[in-house]
Amino acid sequence: DGGITQSPKYLFRKEGQNVTLSCEQNLNHDAMYWYRQDPGQGLRLIYYSQIVNDFQKGDIAEGYSVSREKKESFPLTVTSAQKNPTAFYLCASSPNGATNEKLFFGSGTQLSVL
């Protein structure tokens, strides 16, 4: 299972703290995505990036921030403004960001609040 790597696998956040989730891919994909997975709610898009130095808000971007300084990397910061951060976070990539492309997912990060 190579290709797209997320770290850490488990992360704990204290109240008022910002935490950053790492996502790295060696697939040479242009597009990268962050999804949040909550039980019974499917996958909801937080942010996506089709190209380096550009990214767009998804459906639930409030309380999150991202950067895309390198093609391989798309880190997600969960800020203190996100009041309910406990969830499973999945990073994904696709070759060109076109509508009909297969998404390649990472293995996820479980974030919990202390």
Closest contact distance (angstroms) between CB of 69 and another protein is 18
- Tell me which DSSP letter residue 70 carries: B
| Minimum CB distance to another protein, residue 89 (Å) | 12
- Which two structure tokens, joined as six digits, stand for 28? 């040479």
Neighbours of 102 (CB within 10 A): 8
Residue nearer to another protein on the CB measure, 61 or 80: 61
> With respect to another protein, which residue has the nearer C-beta, 58 or 75?
58
- Cβ of residue 16: shortest distance to another protein, in angstroms? 31
CB of 71 vs another protein, minimal distance in Å: 15
Return the number of the residue (84 or 100) whose C-beta is nearest another protein: 100
**DSSP code string of 84-114:** ---EEEEEEEESS--TTPPPEE---EEEEE-
Whichever of 35 and 64 has its CB closer to another protein, that residue is 35
Which parts of this chain interact with another protein (CB under 8 A)? 1, 31, 33, 35, 40-45, 48-50, 56, 58, 90, 94, 97-103, 105-108
Q: Are 113 and 57 in contact (CB under 8 A)?
A: no
Residue 89: closest CA among 12, 21, 15: 21
In angstroms and rounded to an integer, the radius of gyration of the C-alpha atoms of the chain is 13
